[in-house]
Amino acid sequence: MHKTSLALALAVCAGTIHFPASAASFLIEHVRVFDGQKIQADKNVLIVDGKIQDSNFTGKPAADTTIVNGKGRTLLPGLIDAHVHAFQDQELPLLYGVTTQIDMFSNVEMLKAINEKMRKGENRDRADIISAGILATAPGGHGTEYGMPVPTLTKPEEAQAWVDARIAEGSHFIKIVIEHGSEKHSFNSLDNATVKALVKAAHLRNKLAVVHIGTLKEAQDALDAGADGLVHLFTDRQISEQDLRALVNSAKSKHAFVIPTFAVLESIAGLKEQDVLSDKRMIALLSKSQMQPLNTPYGHKPDADLLNAPRRVTAAMHAAGIPVLAGTDAGNSGTQYGISLHHELAALVEAGLSPTAALAAATSVPATAFRLKDRGRIAKGYKADLLLVEGEPDKDILNTRNIVDVWKDGERVTAQREQKLQEVSKQSMQKNLLVNIPADGRIGLFSKDKLASPFGSGWYPSNDSPMGGKSTVTLKVLESGKDGDVPEHALSVAGSINPGFTYPWAGLAFFPGNKPMEAVNLGNANTLKFRVKGDGKDYSVGISMQGSFIPVTVSFKTTAEWQEISIPFTKFKGMDPSIITILAFNAGPQTGEFHFEIADIRLLKE
């Protein structure tokens, strides 16, 4: 049963289930228009069959044309988030007026599926995704740590074949990684000769080559290699005038663009997006689990000075005429799809762009940079991807949040917004069952007859097979006194993590609700304890919350001897105990055989 639920959820996230759509004709009357570059006052914009037919209509509309009042409002092209990782929550971007996402790393099967939907014109209920697909990185490099099979390369001679393979998979552009990491968490990285060869190989096939960087030196190396764009800037407390001038001159001479991604840089600096978090209209569209990333930045302590360098670089590049694109790196902690782009616009203004320039950074500028000739502007023949807001966002950038209507390919998104508002409101009023946990806290009552529990629907073997994965797991109850020094209610968990699903896993899952995937309130506990022994490998405890199938996790290491592990709920970053659906002990994403034994699993109030 839970496999069906998970598979259905994946289908929804991937956008393979969609609402019926029929693009009608409509006329937005007497509206201020930001056409992607400048403001035009008091225009009538006519939409027919999902396209902008006339951005300055002066005739008499057909009898069946719907009239939309534009007085006191501004019409914008649908927003473009120029840097995301679009692996879940695909209903969110459109609700905030984001009609296109530029994806910087995704699963090939998802890439093929969304490409086919867009090709058929059947993607009206989700933001379009323009994706790099698999990224170019070194063995052990950034991008290989997520358990997703990534074809790596080590020398320039491999570049053309690597690029051609990505194009054959459907990649719209090529993304390259230059990142060496930090002393605490270092990565292997492509050398400069291989990066240069990848850029050349992409250009030979008329594809853009953009580069992920993490430091000033890596940014300079990327531009020296001929990169078309930097998809990040870097955190630092300062940058010298000499280094700033050199970086700007390199970007200008190479005709490169830059995507600062302040949303994720602020997360690294330990800052939350307080402006959108305090806006009830904005967060009203987010479920509790979707709020979780916004409330869990990467940095443990706020350090706003880390933004000094990227702000100076952004201002200097914009002043030099270098295209600055609005991108959030949504999919990372501290960010969320759709809503974070409105924060990014404000961050760009804070960095020195005018509100009009910030609007262009989320519309016409990324459309031009990524060669998207059918969007980013309000002009005849362009896609009717549109955002209507109250007020004048060209004067006050916060007015992008006064959303009146959104259209995707001419289809109104209002019904989806209203449906999501109702779902979130219903969830907020719903009081999930507060579970009465036994006095001793024990929830794993394993015996040869049953994998029992004092509440919930019980324990199950769990692996990635519902998502097309190939990992395996076998559970075996160990009898105390007959299998050596074995505690009571002990269970052997063994199997193999195999490539197949993007993030392969296998292990043991507990469903605390009366039926699988039902959310319950585990607020009567604040600590998870268990005993474990194993093969010396690292494993994880994952807790999933209502509305999300990406668990929050804490890792633990096994040894050859039994040990007690104690994990306070506070270690599960952003976890809300009132909406728990799954508690799991998993191997993965690292591939290979695994084996651990677990016993005495308890939920305690300490």
567 is written with which tokens?
């994990």
Q: Can you name the residues that pair with 565 across neighbouring β-strands?
A: 530
**pLDDT at residue 483, rounded to an integer:** 55
Give the CA angle between residues 568, 9, 84 to the nearest 5°.
80
Q: What is the pLDDT of residues 169-187, one digit of tens each?
A: 999 999 999 999 877 778 8
6 has a pLDDT exceeding 70: no
What value does the mean pLDDT take over residues 282-292? 92
Alpha-carbon span 485 to 501, nearest angstrom = 36
pLDDT for residue 426? 81
Sheet with 174-177: list strands edge to edge.
Answer: 174-177, 209-212, 229-230, 257-258
Question: Model confidence at 448, in pLDDT bands (50, 70, 90)?
Answer: confident
Written as six digits, the tokens of 426 are: 């219903």
What is the longest distance spanned by two Cα atoms in the chain?
Answer: 89
**Cα–Cα distance for residue pair 72/319, rounded to 1 Å:** 31
For the entire predicted model, the pTM comes to 0.85
Quote the pLDDT of residue 481. Answer: 62
- The whole-angstrom distance between residue 363's C-alpha and the CA centroid of its chain comes to 20
Q: What is the average per-residue pLDDT within 6-18?
A: 35
Please choose, from the candidates 513, 485, 583, the residue with its C-alpha nearest in 3D space to the C-alpha of residue 543: 583
Kindly list the structural domains of the chain, giving each domain's residue range(s) and its CATH number in brackets, ordered by start: 26-134+231-425 (no CATH), 433-604 (2.60.120.260)
CB 334 within 8 A of CB 301: no
Q: Return the pLDDT at 336.
A: 97
pLDDT for position 489: 87
Contact assessment for residue 549 and residue 8, using Cβ atoms and an 8 Å cutoff: no
Is residue 313 over pLDDT 60? yes
Judge whether residue 68 has pLDDT over 70. Answer: yes
Residue 42 reports pLDDT greater than 50: yes
As a whole number of angstroms, the distance between CA 212 and CA 233 comes to 9
Q: What is the reported pLDDT for 8? A: 31
Residue 244 clears pLDDT 60, i.e. is over it:
yes
Q: Which two tokens stand for residue 436?
A: 């009465």
- From residue 242, give the alpha-carbon distance in Å to each of 226, 246, 378, 558: 21, 6, 40, 50
Closest CA to 348 of 339, 337, 338, 361: 361
At 397, list the tokens: 């950038």
List, for residues 202-229, the tens digit of each pLDDT value. 999 999 999 999 999 999 999 999 999 9
Q: pLDDT tens, 336-347?
A: 999 999 999 999
CA distances from 250 to 4, 216, 229, 361 (A): 52, 12, 11, 21
Which range is least confidently modeled, 327-331, 403-407, 468-472, 530-534?
468-472
For 570-588, how does the pLDDT look when each residue is reduced to its tens digit (9 = 90+)? 999 888 899 999 999 999 9
Q: SS3 of 98, please?
A: strand
Element (H, E) at 262: helix 262-268
| Residue 484 confidence (pLDDT) | 60
Stronger pLDDT, 19 or 341, i.e. the higher one: 341
Mean pLDDT of all residues in 228-255: 97
Query: Is 16 or 546 the better-scoring residue by pLDDT?
Result: 546
Residues in contact with 314: Cβ distance below 8 Å, sequence separation at least 6, in sequence order: 233, 258, 260, 262, 324, 348, 351, 352, 353
C-alpha to C-alpha distance for 490 and 471, rounded to whole angstroms: 23
DSSP string, 303-326: -GGGGHHHHHHHHHHHHTT--B--
Listed in sequence order, the DSSP H helices in 434-497 are none
Predicted confidence band at 7 (pLDDT cuts at 50, 70, 90)? very low
Query: Which of the 8 DSSP states describes residue 55?
Result: T
Q: Are 230 and 177 in contact (CB under 8 A)?
A: no
Judge whether residue 10 has pLDDT over 50: no
| Contacts with 418 (C-beta within 8 Å, 6 or more apart), sequence order | none
Question: What does the mean pLDDT of the chain come to?
Answer: 91
192 burial (CB, 10 Å; 0-12 / 13-18 / 19+) is middle
For the chain, the distance separating the N- and C-terminal CA atoms, rounded to the nearest angstrom, is: 34
114 three-state secondary structure: helix
Query: How many other C-beta atoms can be found within 10 angstroms of the C-beta atom of residue 374?
Result: 12
Question: Which amino acid is it at 140?
Answer: G
Q: Retrieve residue 243's tokens.
A: 């280094």
Q: Percent of the chain, pLDDT > 70? A: 95
Q: 415 versus 367: which is more confidently predicted?
A: 367
> What pLDDT is recorded for position 267?
96
CB atoms near residue 66 (< 10 Å):
12
pLDDT at 18 over 60: no
The mean pLDDT value for 379-407 works out to 98
- Rounded average pLDDT over 499-504: 78
Amino acid found at 294: L
Cβ-based neighbour number of residue 305 at 10 Å: 12
H/E stretch holding 604: strand 592-604
Residue 555, CA distances (Å) to 527, 538, 562 in order: 15, 7, 17
Give the tens place of pLDDT for each residue, 508-557: 999 999 988 888 999 999 999 999 999 999 999 999 988 776 788 999 99
The pLDDT value recorded for residue 338 is 98
Q: Which pLDDT does position 482 carry in this prediction? A: 58
- Interval 145-171: pLDDT, tens: 776 779 999 999 999 999 999 999 999
- 59 pLDDT more than 80: yes
Instruction: Tell how far CA 252 is from the center of its chain.
Output: 30
What gap in Å lies between CA 131 and CA 164, rounded to an integer?
Answer: 15
Show the tokens assigned to 526.
């604040």
Query: Is the model's pLDDT at 17 over the cut of 70?
Result: no
Instruction: Determine the distance from the C-alpha atom of residue 201 to the mean position of all C-alpha atoms in its chain, rounded to a whole number.
Output: 28
- Confidence check: pLDDT of 197 > 90: yes
Angle 159-169/108-119 helices, nearest 10 degrees? 50
Q: Is the pLDDT of residue 9 over 60?
A: no
Q: Is the pLDDT of residue 242 over 50?
A: yes
pLDDT number for residue 303: 97
pLDDT bracket for residue 23 (50, 70, 90)? low
Residues 6+ apart with CB under 8 A from 431: 521
Q: What is the pLDDT of residues 428-441, one digit of tens each?
A: 777 777 899 999 99
Residue 21 has pLDDT above 80, yes or no: no
| pLDDT digits 0-9 by tens, 100-143 | 999 999 888 889 999 999 999 999 999 999 999 999 999 989 98
pLDDT in tens, 342-371: 999 999 999 999 999 999 999 999 999 999
